Structure 1
Amino acid sequence: MSSVGKSLALRRSFRAPSSKGRSRVRVSSSSISASSGAAAASSAASSASSSLIEPLTGAELEIALQDRDRVMLVDFYATWCGPCVLLQQELEQVAKIMGDAVRIVKVDTDVEQDLSSALGIAGLPTLMFVFPDNSKPALRTEGLLSSAQILRILDEEMNVPVPQGPQLPQ
């Protein structure tokens, strides 16, 4: 079983704490075996992103999950997805606020089709909040979230203190 599968045993859907109308759905924590396609190496090269958010291939994600020492936020996106482009801006703001407290990475679902299929990525964007502790299931949300919502999830659900200051979004 790959470490991606071990690390991403998850609660299928997760509602942001302040979201109205979203429901929390639990799926049994199951191991997910994921594989990386041969085209995965082109993901980092073809992805235009800021240096604050690391584009990863499936193989690189597996290594990152093995070596994590802090909360990891994984953004599953597609370049053609409008909400994914908007989420990128929100994630950059979160990265600036959180600094090294959270590692934010992104995986292109068009390049990593096998991995996306194995993880059941159906709606974009999909975010997975992964605890540093393998025994805790990852949290997953689908759809566009604001930086304020992401920060609340990090603070309230992941127990990562959010720095206080004027840079915080409303």
Structure 2
Amino acid sequence: MEQKIRSQSMSHKENISLANDENFAGKVSHGVTLVDFYADWCGPCRMLTPVIHEVADQLHDKAKFIKVDVDASQKIAAQFQVMSIPTLVLIKDGHEVGRLVGLRDAKTIRHFVESHCNS
């Protein structure tokens, strides 16, 4: 059981990366990327984390998943006009193609991402 938890934790780290003001553009310039704008102090953001991990594990071959701390990366949060967190922004080839605000379930997020993977 401990190995399974450890391997799940490792896959989450591989499937979700952190982005900041310096490396954000390079992470979203090609392909489909779901950006999770969050803050450590945000309760709904913490509740969304395992949901994002679940979707990232399911769709890691179709899209990239990154997290942006709005407190540490205020420039990116302002650029995307993030007014409420959690905010999920879907980016395709560097351009925003969709947005979800607030806590959502895995099915909703998965369909949201998949709808832009083949278009």
Using the size of structure 2 for normalisation, the TM-score is: 0.80
The aligned counterpart of 2:98 is: 139
**1:64 equivalenced with 2:19 (yes/no):** no
- Counterpart of 2:104, as a letter, is L
* Higher strand content, 1 or 2: 2
Q: Whose relative contact order is higher, 1 or 2, with alpha carbons under 8 Å and at least 6 apart?
A: 2
State the identity as a percent. 27
Distance in 2 (alpha carbons) for counterparts of 1:56 and 1:85: 17
- Whichever structure has more helix as a proportion of its residues is 2
2:73 matched to which residue of 1? 112
Report the residue type matching 2:99 in the other structure. R
CA distance in structure 2 between the aligned counterparts of 1:139 and 1:127, rounded to whole angstroms: 8
Which amino acid counterpart does residue 58 of structure 1 have in structure 2?
Answer: D
Task: Give the aligned residue type for 1:125.
Answer: P
Q: Deviations over 1:37-61 (max 9, x none)?
A: xxxxxxxxxxxxx402101112211
Which structure 2 residue ranges, 5 or more long, are not aligned?
1-11
Structure 1: gaps spanning 5 or more residues:
1-49, 161-170
Structure 2 distance, partners of 1:154, 1:147, is 11
2-structure distance, mates of 1:119, 1:152: 22
Aligned pairs (5 A) from 1:42-121: 50-51=12-13, 52-66=15-29, 68=30, 70-121=31-82
The TM-score, its normalising length taken from structure 1, stands at 0.57
Native 8 Å contact 2:20 2:76 kept in 1 = no
Deviation at 1:137, TM superposition (A): 4.1
Count residues with an aligned counterpart. 107
State the 4+ residue runs in structure 1 displaced beyond 4 angstroms.
none
